[in-house]
Structure 1
Amino acid sequence: MSALCDGRVVVVTGAGRGLGRAHALAFAAEGARLVVNDLGVGLDGTPGGDGAPGPGSPAALVAEEIRAAGGEAVPHGGDIATTEGAASLIRTALEAYGRLDTLVNNAGFLRDRMLVNLDEDDFDAVVRVHLKGHFLPLRHAAAHWRAEAKAGRRPEARIVNTSSGAGLLGSVGQGNYSAAKAGIVALTLVAAAELRRYGVQVNAIAPAARTRMTERAFADTMAAPDAGFDTMAPENVSPLVVWLGSAASAGVTGRVFEAEGGRITVMEGWRAGPSADKGGRWSPAEAGERVRKLLAEAGEPGAVYGA
């Protein structure tokens, strides 16, 4: 065991399975003490079928797995998309370990529909768990760290948010999920700018891995036959998350990274491209003519997933 996160207290949401579980285990292997959050709901966020919070819940099982390997972990089964659930998440870390160093926002579920079939409840539910479920734990953690900084105990705090390629490029049949994941990127940028003064760094990842949410999409993806390397294993993403969540990532904030297999990519968002200034008001025809010329000079946007 190395000591990259020795002594750090790390909270991971949605850590009962998939990416969240891989992240929690990877942090524990680097010496971190964990709060393992998972509500124990189904793939679409409905209760039952996957183990409700309790002794046999996904969160409890992962916490036990960490303890069995010699680490420290406590489970948390609250709904982090509620004020009380998010507050109790942060409170659990402080009560169990007396401190908080890293928050990894990962919880989420899917309710995929084409836009014309996407009803309001399914839109609201997905935006709630992903976007609000990032904001509320972030807000409560940030309030704690701000108080620490103002008391003269400036933290080396880290937040790692989970976006998606769907949030960066869009994904057919996932209007609700894509919108939420795009919102997480914007939230990350704002939080990084606002919280830097308190010793808090905020970054986001856009992972590609085989989990409950993607198992159908990656059903035919196999490990590379020559190298024996499963490029879609969620454990491939966790090393980047652990590094971003550690003190070793000092100076890295407000960034978005894509992680898939053995590849890490720094994602570059909206930047000013070709531009024209008339110095006055355009007519609609003039604006259209100029826009076509500007588009001819611009690069092509990335393709929407599934298009």
Structure 2
Amino acid sequence: MTSFSLQAVPQDAASWKALAVRCEEAGFDALLVPDHPGSCASPFVALAAAAAVTSRIGLGSNVVNAGVREPILVAADVATLDVISGGRARLGVGAGHTPAEWRAVGRERPDVAGRVDHCLAFTEAVRALLDGEPVRGGGLDGEPVRDAVLEKPRPVQARIPLTLGTANSRMLRWAGEHADVVGLTGFGRTLEDGHQHQARWRPDQIERQIEQVRTGAAGRETPPELEALVQMVEITDDAEGAAAPHAERLGMSVADALAVPFVLIGTAGEIRTKIARNEEQWGITRYVVRQPALESIAESVFR
């Protein structure tokens, strides 16, 4: 069954609570908050406020920046959110790509291999702590924790759902083996501004990414779900015309731009058809869209 999550950040208390309520009423599966310290809200504080005015939707990070967070603190935040939400917390993790965020906590951003090493060690540690296991390791140059155990609070859920967001081959294989959801970002190399990315959006690139997940998931009785981070949503009768500027910017054909799962452009019927095709072709059953797309998705998918 296809599901949609909404990624958003609070601007003020009243509108944030109203957004959480609308998200739940519209039929979204979860409300998610990104993690960019210094440039957006603290995810778990925001999610705790949303928990107070909702009763069904999942509440999670999309995604925690593993590079600038400590496993025991993230585990405590997630467990606390799970308790106060009655078992609705989710954990999304990513390697972190913005140099300024690393510098803000007194660290220099490692190279890609270093960020991957750190993220996987971090994720394993948080997963173990949430599962009630003690963690033993070195410092930030190796395992990202020393000695830690999460005695209290204990989560309500037996297992907090874990999403790993990435386009890195090694992380995709690890996610295939261990995660509940693999968040396909389509992100390539980080550009010089430290925020934007090259796009790995060509159909052959997407297929290779999914193949890495399948390789990691070989032998699992229940493989992880695949989730696409949608960058463009537009309801229009002229899908090709709407997609053309984006395709040109990305160096892709219009047909390829309309085919990738990171773009939902077209009539409501065309978008529903594409969602069905994405599941058939790639096995993608989950989507994350950003706040401006809330009503478009509610109109095109949920009605």
TM > 0.5: no
Q: TM-score, normalised to structure 2's length?
A: 0.37
Instruction: Point out the structure with max Rg over C-alpha.
Output: 1
